[in-house]
Every structure is written in structure tokens, then in C-alpha cells.
Structure 1
Amino acid sequence: MTAGPDRDIRGRGFSRRAALQAAWDWIDRHVAPGAPQPLAPAGCAGLCLAADVPAARDWPAADLAAVDGFAVASSDTLGAGSYNPVPLMAAVAVAAGDRLPAGCDAVIPFEAVQTVGPIVEAIDPVAPGSGIERRGAWAGAGSPLLPAGRRLRASDLGLLAAAGPALVPVSPPPRVRLLLAGGPKGGGADLLGPMLSALVARDGGLVEGPERLPADREGLAAAFVRPGADLMLAAGRSGTGLDDAAPPALAAAGSLDLHGIAMRPGGSAGLGLAGGVPVLLLPGEPMAALAAYELLAGRAVRLAAGRPPGLPQATVTAVTARKLVSEIGCVDLHRVRLDAGGRAEPVASPGWPGLAAAARADGFVLIPAESEGVPDGASVTIYRFD
């Protein structure tokens, strides 16, 4: 059964927590890409296509030389060999990418000819189509060029310039308001702003802020209802302390739909709406904020950017060097490193705070809520931090 948020857990603690899947379902229901925008391909790097893009023209637009050599009629090379050179009276020198002259159906490379004065002789035969790119070989006008949802790479931009339309529909980067509630506990440097800004940019969002606000219900509520954002992340003051003002501020500004997620670290995360805009509350402890971003907020940013919602990290499979201890009822994010033998070794328990262990780790392993842990020697999937 999905757990709803308690009215006010400050000074009392969570009586129940929502399953991580329930939080994912909430995000999937409430977050969607913005209205598609038509842009010239040159300005689309890293953006996602909002619709299928068909080819606007054949590519190549004509038969082209694929290699340097001589354009020939292949029938003129029949019987050629090193002991039987065949004169090529109609050969035309071409470079790769040149349009094929009329009457030619192949390109014979320089290595397969010899010259005797002004005469070019074939010493190897070529078949029809050898050494050429046929018109429309890579895309025919009207045929599918790139699919909806594709994140455009540099090579895609070249393809669009060659065969695509002048404008392509893309999902615009979501405007993500980043609020930091209260100062860092215990003083010290701001760890959350740089870390979360980089993560939002990685997932395709445009960061507004970070904006540091007092841990004050009225001030936070006003920031939640201020227009101009497609998504809001508020880090800090999300837990059970008496000064944890973010959850009641969100409840006052709109709705606090889920508060307390069955995950470690990051279990004080929350989700709700303010002015119809999705808001995700992240813990203020940096490692808990990192975990809550990776498993919750990052999913929302990627969906808003038109990207696939799943974790973006590359994965590697390894066996455990030691048991990974877990808590039944919680999804645990275990920081691990790969030892000299390529085995996954725990760096810190999910309940241990601080980013230092994450810096020493190569990635993390997710242990499902129904598991007590992973025994040593078992196969696990590692999500690589790099």
C-alpha cells in the first residue's frame, strides 16, 4: 500500500515511508517535457527530439565517389590483371566525395591501376557499384532519419544538416529552480549548490540559482509559488528537526503529496506541487542529497528534458568482495569501489553520511527493499559515477 505523508513529522519522526516505486510513479504522472520548439540543427546539441524527423532529401543527393581513384564504367575493367593490363580510355580522376561522372558506375582505386605515359591501365577489375555511394544510400527523401526522444549528438547534427529539414522539433531544456533552505549545518562551505547544479546540467536542465533562503516557512512558500520555473528542487531542512521548514512550506504553497521515501540515504525526501509545478524536497546532508537526486530528482529533470527517465550512468557487472549489508523495507544505495581484482568492495554503509566515501567510490549498487543484502561472491550491477 502506498504511504501518504504525515501532517507534520517535525520532532516526531516518520511513522511510515512511501515506496521508491510510488515516488517514481508520482514523478512519471506529474512531469512531462515542455511544448516542442522548432530549432535549426546547429543549436540542438544535447537536446532531445520531440517527434520523428524524416529525411527532407536523398542523402547522398547523387552517386558519389567513396574512395580516391578513377571513375570508370566497370565493364571496361573486365579481364584486367597484373599480366593483362586493360587501358581505360574514359577514366576520370576523382576524390572521395566527388559526384560520379555520367556513364560511370564504379571507382577504381589508384592502387588498382598503373599509368603508362598519359594512358591509365587497370590491373584489377572492379564490379558495378564498387567504390561509390549510391544516391539515397543512407536516407531517401521521406524515410525515417532520426526517432523521437533521441538525444542529439554531434554526428546527428551533421546528418540533419545533410538530409534533414531546416528546423527540427526539440524538447526545450526545463527551467529548474534550485533553492537551498537554511545555511549548511555546522557552518562550512556550500556543498549542495555546486553539486546539484552540475547534476541538473548533466540531465538536461537549465539551473535557476542556486538561491539560498532562510529556513523559514513563509519565505520558502513564497519561493515555491514564484512563477517562471518548470521544476523546483529545494535542498535542506526536509527532515524531522524542529527547524525543518521545507515540508510545511510546500504544504502551505500547494501540496505535499509524499514525504519520507523508503530509501537510504535520502529518506527524508518529499514530493509535491506548488502552482501546478512539481517540487522535489532533498535532504541537506550532502550524501543524502546526492542519493535523493540520483534516484528521484534526476528522474524528474530527465523527463522534463524529454530524456529517458532511467539512471543515466554506465553500468558494469562485478562480484562482491564482501557482503553488502542492507535493511529490509528500504532501497539501499551502496557506495562501492572496484578492487585490484575487479570485485565490488563496499566503501561505506548506506547510512553513513558524507561525500568523501562517494569520492573514493567507483559507483553504487542498488539493493532492493525486499533484500537483507548481497552475499560475498554474488554478481551485482554497479552504476558508475564517471
Structure 2
Amino acid sequence: MPSATPLYDVRGRGFARRAPVTEAWAWIDDRIVPPPARSLPLVECAGLRLAEAVMALGDWPPADRAAVDGYAVAAADTLGAGSYNPVPLTAAVAVTAGDPLPPGCDAVVPFEAAQAVGPFVEAIDAVAPGSGVERQAAWTRAGSQLLPAGRRLRPGDLGLLAAAGWGAGYGAGYGMVPVLPAPRVRILLAGGPKAGAPEQLGAMLAALVGRDGGAVEAVEDRTADLDALAEAFAQPGADLILSAGRTGTGPDDVAPVALAQAGSLDLHGIAMRPGGSAGLGLAGGVPVLLLPGEPMAALAAYELLAGRAVRRAAGLPAGLPHAATEVVTARKLVSEIGSVDLHRVRLDDDGRVEPAASPVWPGLAAAARADGFVLIPAESEGVPDGVPVTMYGFA
């Protein structure tokens, strides 16, 4: 049980300094690495990263096969065939797509290009050698690379692996694939009068963690008191902990104190807006990221800090996962020197960007209205209208 006496208390004192965002990124990169690889059944691998390249176990297709339903033939037997000159096929074999070609056949006449006359089949269209055929090893040869290391597995990838012999069924011999398991992320809602509704923050953060390759272990309401939050930080089981709310320096801001009590508060106060009261530390060796409770600040701190931590833990690229587009500002984006500003923006009818927030669209309404965000560096006083900027778009 943690002591009721805080080991570290910033309440009422303000921030001694605000660490640059790059310093917070270095802290994350130095302490968070992907978990060891595991071999999992194919049906459990969707969305996970391949730990190593997967090689083809054999040729695919394993032999020449029909690509369409029809009659397997020797193409030479169809020479001269047409609708006014049907040509009898003495060695036609009915096949469906995927069937191996019978010996002596090198093409498939589709059913619509043939007609049955009693027990006989006639071609009413000529075909060339290879027509209607999928050649052996057309997709991959034995020993070649099917998918590279680091690939995030999509449903189509799982189908390819199953077809290529990595998972042929649901019983004995079911394929196992080497993957990086999703990091277990615990979300703690620290509450407080500055926070949004707990279900609001919990739903947003859980969705963001899933986007970035994490698996939410639990979403817990820990608004009771300092010791309850410290106990939650110290509880084992998670690979990463995100806490939302009570991150400032006011009398009710217990999150940084609780983290210091449970382990270490390494950085508190980041030179970014919104979200500048974010913090980082360790509890039982597990990285903990403190996010503000105000929803827009929590979203910004997640995008710039916590998201990077989740992606690194999942074996994904650490950088922002959004598509970057060059756009032009329609209105000035206001900033001040000393902090990285995350401006949520929307595209106007001319394809230019303007701030999404306004007195009419505050908070989460502005977030829902935004098409993306623009990052203004700490050394900038803002961006005037008519200037090119990079927008990180929302999918």
C-alpha cells in the first residue's frame, strides 16, 4: 500500500519548466520497445505486425489451373471456331475456377463460348494458349517472400497466408504466424472538475489506442483520491498506462503526485498547446503518460505523446499516423513562441484551411468538425493567411 504522504508535490507551485516536445519524444523512444515476438494462430493476427518476413512454403498456385469456369482444352483444337462455325471439341473437360488443368490442356473455353450438342461440346470462339488459365507460381514461388517483416496484417493478408499454406483450416495443423502482440494498455480516468465526462475520455482514448495498435486492458474510473490513483499506477499487468485528468498544479491535481508516489515523475509540463500539463514517468517499470482531463487537451497530448508510445510498443512507426497534405491557410493560425501548437483545422470550399474552433464550435464539437490539424513549431509566432502548411488529415 503506497504511503499517504506524497514523495513529490507540485500543487500550488506551478511548473518549474516545460520540457520541449522533442525531449518527451526522446523519453518515450528510450523506454518503450515492442514486446517479444510470439507465434499465434492466423485468426488472432489481424491488425498485428509481422515479427519477421514470411516466406512462401511452395509455389502459388501449385500448378496450372483454371481461372474461369468452362472447358479445359488444347487451344489448337479451337482454331477457326466462331458463332457461324462451331468446332467440335473431342477432348474437352468441364472445370471450375481453381481446378488444375488436365494433362494435354493449355486453355479454358468459358461456358459462354461453348455449346453442348447432345453428348458433344462445340467451341463457338477460338482461344489462345494460356487463355482462362492461372499459371503455376503466377503469384509466388517457393522460398520467395510473401510478406515483409513489420507488415501490419490486413484481412486480405490473412487470406493470402492461409492460401499459401500458413493456415489451412481450423483443426490440426492450423497455421501459426510470428507476430508482435498488441501492447496491453490500461486507461485510468483520474477525474476532477477540469475533466470531461469519464465516459467521454474513456471512449476517445480507447478508440485512439486501438487505432495505434494497442489492446485496451481496462478503462478504470480512479477519481476517489490520491492513494487510489497511486495504487492503480502500481498495479501490474499492463505494458503501458494512460491517465486522463488532474495533471496540472492546482490543489486537486493529484495525478502527478500519485505517479511520483507510485514510481517516478520524470517530466511534468510539456511545451505544447493544448495539453501542456501532460507528464511522463514510470510505475513498477511500466511507462505512464499523464494526459489532461479537458477533452481537446487530452486529444492533443495523445496525438503528440501517448500515441507515439502506443505505436512504438506495438512495433509500428513512431511518427504521426495521419496522411500529410500541403495546403494553404485561409485565415491566420495564432501561436506564441515557446510551445508547439496543435491547431485543429477544417478545409473550406476552396480547399484552404481555417481554424476549426470558434465560440460557436468549442471543445469536442470543434474536434468533430475538424478535417485534420496543423503543427506550429515552438519558435514560430503563428502562420498568416495565404501561407502553405502541412495538414495531418483524419481518415
Same topology, TM > 0.5: yes
1:213 equivalent to 2:222? Answer: yes
CA deviations 1:234-271 (Å, max 9, x no partner) are 11121121332222322232222222212111111111
What is the rounded CA distance, in whole Å, between the counterparts of 2:345 and 2:164 in structure 1?
Answer: 46
Q: Which residue of 2 aligns with 1:365?
A: 374
- How far did 1:168 drift? 0.3
Partner in structure 2 of residue 258 of structure 1: 267
Pair 1:71-2:72 in alignment? yes
Alpha-carbon distance between aligned partners in 1 of 2:239 and 2:86, rounded to the nearest angstrom: 71
Contact 1:215 1:237 in 2 (8 A): no
Q: Which residue is 1:381 aligned to?
A: 390
Deviates more, 1:262-271 or 1:107-116: 107-116
Q: Residues 268-307 of structure 1: matches in 2 within 5 Å? A: 268-307=277-316
8 Å Cα contact 1:260-1:267 kept in structure 2: yes
Q: After TM superposition, give the deviation of residue 130 of structure 1 in Å.
A: 2.2
Where do 4+ consecutive residues of structure 1 move more than 6 Å? none
Whole-angstrom distance in 2 between the partners of 1:118 and 1:315: 64
Check whether the contact 2:281–2:289 (CA below 8 A) recurs between aligned residues.
yes
Query: Gapped runs of 5+ residues in structure 1?
Result: 1-6
Contact 2:186 2:240 survives alignment (8 Å): yes
For the pair 1:194 / 2:198, whether they are aligned, the reply is no
- What is the rounded CA distance, in whole Å, between the counterparts of 1:353 and 1:331 in structure 2? 20
Code of the residue aligned with 2:26 in structure 1: it is D
The amino acid that maps onto 2:211 is R
Counterparts of 1:110 and 1:276 in 2: how far apart (Å)? 66
Within the candidate set 342, 345, 358, 1:336 is matched to 345
**1:72 CA displacement:** 1.6
Give 1:158's aligned residue. 159
How far residue 275 of structure 1 moved from its aligned partner, in angstroms, is: 1.3
> Is 1:171 the counterpart of 2:180 in the alignment?
yes
Q: Distance in 1 between matches of 2:185 and 2:195?
A: 27
Corresponding position of 2:232:
223
Q: Does 1:246 align with 2:255?
A: yes
Q: What CA distance in whole angstroms lies between the structure 1 residues aligned with 2:380 and 2:232? A: 40
Tell me what 1:3 maps to: none
Aligned to 2:172: none
Shift of 1:331: 1.6
With over 3 angstroms needed to count, the CA separation of the structure-2 counterparts of 1:23 and 1:113, relative to structure 1, is: same
CA RMSD after TM alignment: 2.6
Deviations 1:258-303 (A, max 9, x none): 2221211111111111111111111111110111011111111122
Give the TM-score normalised by structure 1.
Answer: 0.88
1:96 alignment counterpart: 97
Aligned identity (percent) is 74
Q: 1:336 to 1:118 in 2, by over 3 A?
A: same
Cα deviation per residue 1:46-70 (whole Å; 9 max; x = unaligned)?
2222221112232222211112232
Q: What displacement does 1:186 show?
A: 7.8
Which deviates more, 212-221 or 328-337?
212-221
1:309 corresponds in structure 2 to 318
Corresponding position of 1:136: 137
Assess if the C-alpha contact under 8 Å between 2:114 and 2:124 holds in 1: yes
| Equivalent position of 1:25 in the other structure | 26
C-alpha separation in 2, matches of 1:126 and 1:187: 68
Sort the Cα spacing of 1:135 and 1:321 in 2 relative to 1 into closer, same or farther, 3 A: same
CA distance in 2, matches of 1:28, 1:129: 53
Amino acid at match of 2:102: P
Taking the aligned partners of 1:215 and 1:13, their CA distance within structure 2 comes to 23
Deviates more, 1:179-188 or 1:366-375: 179-188
Structure 2 residues without counterparts, runs of 5 or longer: 1-7, 167-174
1:4 is aligned to none
Compute the displacement of 1:84 (Å): 6.0
Distance in 2 between the 1:371 and 1:86 partners? 79
Tell me how far apart the structure 1 counterparts of residues 81 and 196 of structure 2 sit (CA, whole Å).
83
